[in-house]
Amino acid sequence: MKLYSPAIVRQIIEKHKFHFQKSLGQNFLIDGNIVNKIVEAAGINTDDTVLEIGAGIGTLTSALAEKAGKVVVIEIDKNLLPILGETLAGCENVEIFTGNALRTDFDELVYEKTGGVYGKGQRAYKVVANLPYYITTPLVMHALESHFNIDLMVFMVQKEVAERIVAQPGGKDYGALTLGVNYYSEPQKVIRVPKKVFMPQPEVESAVVRLKTRAKPPALVEDEEFFFQVVRAAFGQRRKTLANTVSGLNDKLEKSTVAKTLSDIGIDPGRRGETLSFEEFARIANTIYLLVHAPGNN
């Protein structure tokens, strides 16, 4: 069922006496052109299993179901189930799971819903979503950090979040989210999306991003946890110099030793996090990690 008109969406919603819940980020797509762009960006064919986060009334779901072999959906709002029963009536290849995506093991769910063919230890799948904006960053990071067997993600997010994801060193948008997403994937901005393609209209502009998962990070990282500690410290206090933020990480780190160590690896200790490339962050984290764990320092 095609739901690409405000009149049809309104009709369905009124028929089922559905009330939008702002607290669940319920801004439904009503524009077929944008739906097609999202599906195109995911390059879906019948060989694909797609996991969708948040079905709404099934607008994107039905477009995905036309192209994919299987679509598995996680939707938190039980009130949408009767609507989905109607709008997805002809879609035999859609499986709906009611639950909170943030607390769901995507690999387990996909494994179960595909009879063990995709998911954990099996074939990789794609994730596509018009994300609920109140939890965009945690959901993106859950999908990435959990090392699920996903090869591609296409997400509609707030325009500002998209800009932070694809930012380059040196700008105000470049930060911990940029480094976090780039650690696990190669991000690309696909299109900007105006407010008017949603019902109800959100307060912010949106954009679609495409994240191709990486087999390994863009530079060698000896210790993932320590790398992110350095990144968080550098962006937690953006005005402080690197020598200050790095020496604050551990009691064993003297500021003068940190400054000399940074100079030795070709990094000016007076620089700030926002100027450092991924490779430079990795170089700093790997070297300082060795300093913290040097014999006699434990």
- Cβ distance to ligand SAM smaller for residue 13 or 117: 13
**Are the CB atoms for 287 and 265 separated by under 8 Å?**
yes
Least gap, CB of 115 to ligand SAM (angstroms)? 23
Distance (Å, whole) CA 57 – CA 88: 9
> Which part of the chain contacts ligand SAM (CB under 6 A), choosing from 12-20, 50-58, 117-125, 208-216?
50-58
180 makes contact with ligand SAM (CB under 6 A): no
Asked if 100 interacts with ligand SAM (CB under 6 A), we say yes
Cβ 110 to ligand SAM shortest distance, Å: 15
The piece of 53-61, 239-247, 255-263, 269-277 that touches ligand SAM (CB under 6 A) is 53-61
Query: What's the CA gap between 51 and 205, in Å, rounded?
Result: 24
Tell which positions 116-155 bind ligand SAM, by CB under 6 A. 130, 132, 135
Q: Does 62 bind ligand SAM (CB under 6 A)?
A: no
56 or 269, CB closer to ligand SAM?
A: 56
- Neighbour-count burial for 185-204, b at 16+ CB within 10 Å, e otherwise: bebeebeebeeebbbeebee
Asked if residue 249 lies in contact with residue 230, where contact means CB atoms within 8 angstroms, the answer is yes
| Footprint (CB under 6 A) of ligand SAM, residues 16-35 | 24-29
Residue 138 or 270 having the CB closest to ligand SAM: 138
Q: From the list 31, 77, 274, 280, which residue makes contact with ligand SAM (rule: CB under 6 A)?
A: 77
Using DSSP, state whether 243 is helix, strand or coil. helix
**Residues 104, 81: Cα–Cα separation, whole Å:** 18
Q: How far is CA 296 from the centre of its chain?
A: 41
Q: Residue 206, exposed/middle/buried by CB under 10 A (0-12, 13-18, 19+)?
A: buried
28 or 289: whose CB is closer to ligand SAM?
28
Please identify, among the stretches 47-55, 143-151, 214-222, 234-242, the one whose residues bind ligand SAM according to the rule CB under 6 A: 47-55
User: Shortest Cβ distance from residue 33 to ligand SAM (Å)?
Assistant: 13
Measured between alpha carbons, how far is 154 from 160 in angstroms, rounded to an integer?
Answer: 16
Q: For 164, what's the count of Cα atoms within 13 Å in the CB-facing half-sphere?
A: 16
What is the Cα–Cα distance from 237 to 69, expressed in whole angstroms? 47
> Which one among 76, 96, 209, 246 touches ligand SAM, defined by CB under 6 A?
76
Pairing of strands 28-29, 49-53: unpaired
Is residue 53 within the footprint of ligand SAM (CB under 6 A)?
yes
Q: Closest CB to ligand SAM among 101 and 234?
A: 101
Pick between residue 74 and residue 211 the one whose CB is nearest to ligand SAM. Answer: 74
Binding site for ligand SAM (CB under 6 A): 24-29, 53-56, 59-60, 74-77, 100-102, 130, 132, 135
